[in-house]
Structure 1
Amino acid sequence: MKIGVSSQNFRTITGHAGKGRRFIIFEAPDCADVHETGRLDLPKEMSLHEWDGHGEHPLFELDYLITSSCGDGFINKMGSRGVMVRVTSETDPVAAAKALLAGTLPEGAPQAHDHGHEHHHH
């Protein structure tokens, strides 16, 4: 199983996964213990938000992607390629990958994704 964790600083789990370009990659052989196998540091045009959709994208090789926030469009795009997205309140990438395997990954708060548009509620 391949697990990606969005981490702009390569230390903690960060959000805005669709615009993110840095991911820590873990593998879990036989769904046992996890170990880091690599890091993605993508150019801006390879963030899923900017990607033109041609060819393959390295994130589509994952089985799961863990992030602290993302929009529905990101979840749907990843899901259409067979990648399950999990939003979590966990901040440690290794702990999150281990918790995912154990079925104990804490869920994050639902994200209101408005692309910077102002909404006025009366």
Structure 2
Amino acid sequence: MKFAIATQDGATIATHGGRTRCFLLFDAETGAEPAAAGRLDLAEDMVLHLHGDGKPHPIDAVQVVIAGTSGQGFVNHMRRRGIEPVVTAESDPVQAIRDYFAGTVKPALAPEHPHAHHEGGHHHH
């Protein structure tokens, strides 16, 4: 499987996957260590946040995209492309992929929205 990990510094997972211009690419299978497979650098007008549905995009080559805290728009956009979005609190890309295969992804905190304050508690989907 191919994974794309949103990053800003080339080492740790960036938040806001929809605005990220750099993704680390990994090939990974269950039971094997993830193997780095290069980088995907996007032009300014190719960031997922701006890129409409239905148009081909380099990200389409991967099966899973992992990002830190990202909005629901990013998640929905990935799903429409047939890519599984993984939003995690983990900062290490390789560990996040290991977590994915182990079923132990550390959930990221939901982004704050000024109009929707949830006092305490966690909501489950």
Q: Same fold (TM over 0.5)?
A: yes
Specify the TM-score bucket, using the shorter chain as the normaliser. 0.7 to 0.9
Q: TM-score, normalised by structure 2?
A: 0.82
2:25 is matched with 25
The answer to whether structure 1 residue 59 and structure 2 residue 59 are counterparts is: yes
The answer to whether structure 1 residue 106 and structure 2 residue 106 are counterparts is: yes
Q: What is the CA RMSD across the aligned residues, in angstroms? A: 2.0
Structure 2: unaligned runs, 5 residues or longer:
118-125
The Cα offsets for residues 43-90 of structure 1, whole Å up to 9 and x where unpaired, read as: 111101222556411112221111112111111111011111111111
1:5 is matched with 5
Matches of 1:65 and 1:104, distance apart in 2: 16
- Between Structure 1 and Structure 2, how many residues are aligned? 116
Matches of 1:64 and 1:52, distance apart in 2: 19
In 2, are the aligned partners of 1:60 and 1:78 still within 8 Å (CA)? no
Structure 1 vs Structure 2: percent identity of aligned residues?
Answer: 35
Report the AA paired with residue 80 of structure 1.
Answer: R
Structure 1: unaligned runs, 5 residues or longer:
none
Report the AA paired with residue 3 of structure 1.
Answer: F
Q: TM-score, normalised by structure 1?
A: 0.84
Query: Cα 1:16–1:32, aligned 2, differ >3 Å: closer, same or farther?
Result: same
Q: Deviation at 1:120?
A: 9.7
Large movers: runs of 4+ above 6 Å: none
Matches of 1:2 and 1:75, distance apart in 2: 18
